[in-house]
Amino acid sequence: MTSESGADSEAKQPRENKETEKEKGKAKAAAAAEPASPQNQPEQFPAAAGHSTPARKEQEQQEVDQVSHRSSISRLSRSPLKGVKKTKIMECKVALLDGSDFTLNLEKRARGHVLFDKICEHLNLLEKDYFGITCRDVENQKNWIDPGKELKKQIRTGPWNFAFNVKFYPPDPAQLTEDITRYYLCLQLRDDVVSGRLPCSFATHTVLGSYAVQSELGDYDPEELGSDYISELRFAPNQTKELEEKVMELHKTYKGMTPAEAEIHFLENAKKLSMYGVDLHHAKDSEGVEIMLGVCSSGLLIYRDRLRINRFAWPKILKISYKRNNFYIKIRPGEFEQFESTIGFKLPNHRAAKRLWKVCVEHHTFFRLVSPESQPKKFLSLGSKFRYSGRTQAQSRRASSMINRLAPLVERSSSKRYNMSLSLDGAPIAENHETPMKDSAAAGAAKILTKGDLITTVTTEKKAEEEKAEQEDAPTDAAETQEPTTPLRHDTKTDSEQTDFAFDGEMTATESDADDDSEMRTQDTSPPEEMLKHQTNISELKRSFLETGESSPGLTEWEKRLSSSPAHSPRGDEAPMIEPLELQDTKDEPPASEETKEEVEPKTTKAAEYLVKYVGDSVATDLASSSGLHGISPSTTMDDDVFMDGTLREVDEVAEREEIKVSPGAVRQEVYQAISDKKGTLIILKEADDKVDAEGKETGAAGEEEEPALRGEAEGGENEAVMGVEIWSPKMEANGVTQIKGTDSPKKAMASWISEVVKTEATEVVGASTKASDAPQPGEEVQTEQSKSGPSQITPPESSTTSLAVSTLGWVPSSEKGPPEPEEKVVVATETEAAPAESTGPTGCDVVEVGTKEVPVVHTETKTITYESAEVETNGDVDPGVLLSAQTITSETTSTTTTTHITKTVKGGISETRIEKRIVITGDTDIDHDQALAQAIKEAKEQHPDMSVTKVVVHKETEITPEEGED
């Protein structure tokens, strides 16, 4: 865990000093321009550098002109002469994780990402999304450099000294694609341990220490290492002889273990530590009691001394804000509470409050969302515009799954930081002979394309989530399909007032806005009033469903559901009494949220998202209110969520999501769960996805789509019969999110997305991303779709666009394996948990193939566009063992894009095919989106009765401003 305080400063100081020597030795460090010779301590640097231009400010003193600091690797150096006068060059010194320094020159106006990219290049690091750059402020507090902002604005004073650190600690490091990434994570953790930020027991110190030694020094060899080698390394804050001896004992037993293996073992142990990846911030509670707030991948932890006294999982948090030195979280009402509550904490000062707020926003986005939120509109610029703009974990995983290079050599022996006496030279990382792919995403995408129709993308996590989702939600009785649409329309129009999304971070002074100071909404709380009615109805439906559900007396609704969900009861039918105990946020919430939603929703009139689920005859309806939801910005693209959620595969998280509704995926999950609950057995062996995008009111697209969809259904039917598996009646889930702000936006784009999913076999669904369609529209719309888990984003670069997406899912589970016996359930359960780790050789599944074969393969592209810049989304194969194929058929009409998407996944002998149809309607405000949507859904329905609407998204965008800082 990292601490905001300077706790680690001691650890870093020494290495910085040492660093210089190392720098010399590095050939690589050529980058470190001559001027930045070793003798130059960063602090001294300014003086030496001053010649280029008279210093205008303090900062400029440090400027160095290009001529003197030409760096071999610096791109800037290409035109040295020109640069001399116009471009200010600054020398940056970056403390790397191995204790060395990396010095380079950057244009003064360079933004954070330039530096970051150069460091990653230097480190040969592709999976860079977990990392970040820090610099210390006046108070010696560590602040993360915003990649989108100019460095000079983030360093008010002082030399350009930075540190390269892990920013987001992956909950499961084994899922990282490359060893080299794990190597750096290990280095960070070793520092965390030695500095005391990551407390551990003596036993853990010995274990971690022993793996660190093995990783760094290799096999124990008394002749080479001597007997005292161990004391040259640091393992613990207070290292004792006893500890060293124990470490040595263990080290001796690791003969033959490779460094990469040792690192995996190290991480497997480190990740279990309770403070792993927890970023601590000092604070006081409302009564002035000293506490610590810990931000981590799963939420916010509250500590008093070493005790955890509370925990707020992200799904539980509706809003995060700060004002002056206060930090607030708005909490979703609990099961028995009527209203949401806001909890305030006092931070030492305004900066600390803001820092905490930012860290929360970033963690939430990275770990919980499928894609980053777009930034608030300008006209709402009352508050902070800060958003996390990098890739989310989900995106990062997809991208890294595309990495296709030989494992780079990692030179590990040079981690001087922990090595007290050795002073080996050499860059920490050996150059890789392979051409490293600098832009993994782009490269990945390219590769995918070349593969043709087969895309082996596996996003295990997603699968897990889906499964969970399936297990969780109980379907409710029949609601009409139409309903979802109606509400949507309202949404579209009502959202106009969504000012609340704006983070008013900067408005600190205004008292009235306390809440909004700078807030991040993690969920939508307020639906437009018009929608309220609908929602109420829906919730009523849901409630009634719940009440009618067959369940054992005495259990609460969610308990019933839980108890009936197969996946959660490992013992199968015979041991029905074992119920999954879900994190409160996750399982508890469904009920709670239902209750609360109604109340909550009325309050706000911002963006509302609803979720209507239909299952077979029964309809489960969930109101998901998500207004600024996704936390952060109301105007974000909701599309992505649909499938992407899956990507966050942490089991716990999955559950949480449901409740949160933050991510569309959550919605889905609910549906699935609902399904499973109702039937009691959930076995999904295959999943057929059919995605069709049809644009415009026309259903012309539909025609094309029909085939896949039908097949999917047919298959489902067959399977059911054959398998004797319980079949769920297809569910209809409609999730409508509307975020429309009254805007001056000239244009709107509306996209409707209808996807059909037929599941035939239980499998792990893998996220395959395919880019389905580009809206033909005035180029304002870009869509990204991830098949299966594929999130789709519509991000109109300029001008506001509204997109309405409706996705439908129909599931017909059947298993080839056999009847949905308890055993199977067990299997399912296992998969859920293990899914992420599993990787199986791809196996062809007949059923799947059938479904897919018939569909012509057009091409698959993955593309992700964030508000900041266009990124290529790649759905990759995370696990080599899993085969995923994705096919996308796209047809376009004037302003309509129809995409049929078929994804196949095979895992552990289980395969799943999923067919999704996606219809995107894009257009100006003039278009009657509501009608178009209604029609599209109707037609789709007619064609495929089993189809379910998973999601309806109305998306409207105005100008997006990528990089503003909140400041």
Partner 1 sequence: MAGLMSGFGHYTHAVVRGIPASLAKEALRSCQAEVDLAEARREHEEYVEVLGTRLGLEVVELPADESLPDCVFVEDAAVVCGDTALITRPGAESRRRETETMKSALKELNLNIVEMTDEKATLDGGDVLFTGREFFVGLSKRTNQRGAEILADAFKDYAVSTVPVLEGLHLKSFCSMGGPGLIVIGSSEPAQKALKIMQQMSDHRYDKLTVPDDLAANCIYMNLPNKGHVLLHPTAEQYPESAKVFEKLKDYMLIPVCNMQKVKVDGALTCCSVLINKKANI
Please return the burial class of 272, using the count of CB atoms within 10 Å of its CB with bins 0-12, 13-18 and 19+.
exposed
- 583 near partner 1, rule: CB under 8 A: yes
Q: Which of 201, 238, 435, 512 binds partner 1 (CB under 8 A)?
A: 201
Rounded Cα–Cα distance for residues 759 and 53 (Å)? 67
Cβ 569 vs Cβ 825: under 8 Å: yes
Q: Which of 241, 305, 435, 553 binds partner 1 (CB under 8 A)?
A: 305
Which is closer to partner 1, CB of 61 or CB of 584? 584
Rounded Cα–Cα distance for residues 162 and 142 (Å)? 10
Residue 672 CB, nearest distance to partner 1 (Å)? 17
- 174 near partner 1, rule: CB under 8 A: no
- 265 near partner 1, rule: CB under 8 A: yes
Rounded Cα–Cα distance for residues 312 and 329 (Å)? 9
> How many Cβ atoms sit within 10 Å of the Cβ of residue 869?
11
Listed ranges 422-430, 476-484, 533-541, 565-573: which one lies at the site for partner 1 (CB under 8 A) = 565-573
Q: Which of 41, 53, 258, 274 binds partner 1 (CB under 8 A)?
A: 274
Which of these, 681, 671, 688, lies nearest to 732 by C-alpha position?
A: 671
Rounded Cα–Cα distance for residues 692 and 549 (Å)? 34
- 298 near partner 1, rule: CB under 8 A: yes
Q: Looking at residues 814 to 853 of the shown chain, list those that interact with partner 1 (rule: CB under 8 A).
A: none
- 341 near partner 1, rule: CB under 8 A: no
Q: Looking at residues 544 to 563 of the shown chain, list those that interact with partner 1 (rule: CB under 8 A).
A: 554
- 210 near partner 1, rule: CB under 8 A: yes
- 284 near partner 1, rule: CB under 8 A: no
Residue 484 CB, nearest distance to partner 1 (Å)? 31
Residue 568 CB, nearest distance to partner 1 (Å)? 7
Which is closer to partner 1, CB of 37 or CB of 253? 253
- 311 near partner 1, rule: CB under 8 A: yes
- 219 near partner 1, rule: CB under 8 A: no
- 27 near partner 1, rule: CB under 8 A: no
Which of these, 869, 895, 864, 917, lies nearest to 801 by C-alpha position?
A: 895
Residue 193 CB, nearest distance to partner 1 (Å)? 11
- 255 near partner 1, rule: CB under 8 A: no
Residue 581 CB, nearest distance to partner 1 (Å)? 4
Q: Which of 607, 651, 682, 782 binds partner 1 (CB under 8 A)?
A: 651
Q: For residue 952, give the H/E element and its range.
A: strand 949-956
The two three-digit tokens of residue 923, written as one number: 């257009």
Listed ranges 93-101, 128-136, 201-209, 459-467: which one lies at the site for partner 1 (CB under 8 A) = 201-209
Q: Which of 570, 602, 880, 965 binds partner 1 (CB under 8 A)?
A: 570
Q: Which residues of 300-336 are buried (b: 16+ CB within 10 A; e: fewer)?
A: bbbbeeeeeeebbbbbbbbbbbbbbbbbbbbbbbbee
- DSSP code string of 524-541: -----HHHHHHHHHHHHH
Residue 253 CB, nearest distance to partner 1 (Å)? 8
- 585 near partner 1, rule: CB under 8 A: yes
The two three-digit tokens of residue 41, written as one number: 């301590």
Cβ 919 vs Cβ 692: under 8 Å: yes
Q: Looking at residues 420 to 479 of the shown chain, list those that interact with partner 1 (rule: CB under 8 A).
A: none
- 584 near partner 1, rule: CB under 8 A: yes
Which is closer to partner 1, CB of 305 or CB of 926? 305
Which is closer to partner 1, CB of 59 or CB of 298? 298
Contacts of 519 (CB under 8 A, 6+ apart): 319, 320, 321, 328, 330, 383, 503, 504, 505
Cβ 66 vs Cβ 88: under 8 Å: no
Residue 274 CB, nearest distance to partner 1 (Å)? 4
Residues near partner 1 (CB under 8 A), total? 54
Q: Which of 41, 231, 310, 482 binds partner 1 (CB under 8 A)?
A: 310
The number of angstroms, rounded, from the C-alpha of 685 to the middle of its chain's C-alpha atoms is 26
Cβ 832 vs Cβ 779: under 8 Å: no
> How many Cβ atoms sit within 10 Å of the Cβ of residue 222?
10
Which is closer to partner 1, CB of 580 or CB of 631? 580
Residue 246 CB, nearest distance to partner 1 (Å)? 7
Residue 7 CB, nearest distance to partner 1 (Å)? 16
Q: Which of 588, 641, 690, 774 binds partner 1 (CB under 8 A)?
A: 588
Residue 278 CB, nearest distance to partner 1 (Å)? 10
Residue 311 CB, nearest distance to partner 1 (Å)? 5
- 204 near partner 1, rule: CB under 8 A: yes
Instruction: Reduce the DSSP state of residue 111 to 3 states and report it.
Output: strand
Which is closer to partner 1, CB of 298 or CB of 814? 298
Which is closer to partner 1, CB of 205 or CB of 489? 205
- 252 near partner 1, rule: CB under 8 A: no
In order of 129, 176, 271, 277, 944, the CA distances from 391 in angstroms are 6, 15, 22, 18, 36
Listed ranges 91-99, 110-118, 301-309, 675-683: which one lies at the site for partner 1 (CB under 8 A) = 301-309
Contacts of 783 (CB under 8 A, 6+ apart): 639, 693, 751, 771, 772, 773, 774, 775, 792, 793, 794, 863, 897, 920
Amino acid at 922: T
Rounded Cα–Cα distance for residues 122 and 128 (Å)? 12
Which of these, 511, 509, 522, 519, lies nearest to 380 by C-alpha position?
A: 519
Q: Which of 652, 756, 761, 879 binds partner 1 (CB under 8 A)?
A: 652
Rounded Cα–Cα distance for residues 329 and 522 (Å)? 10
Which of these, 252, 205, 208, lies nearest to 227 by C-alpha position?
A: 252
Which is closer to partner 1, CB of 42 or CB of 572? 572
Cross-strand bridge partners of residue 786: 769
- DSSP code string of 811-829: -----SS-S--HHHHHHHH
Which is closer to partner 1, CB of 276 or CB of 672? 276
- 53 near partner 1, rule: CB under 8 A: no
Chain residues binding partner 1 by CB under 8 A are 199-204, 206-207, 210, 246, 250, 253-254, 265, 268-269, 272-274, 298, 304-311, 313, 316, 335, 554, 568-572, 574-585, 587-588, 651-652, 655
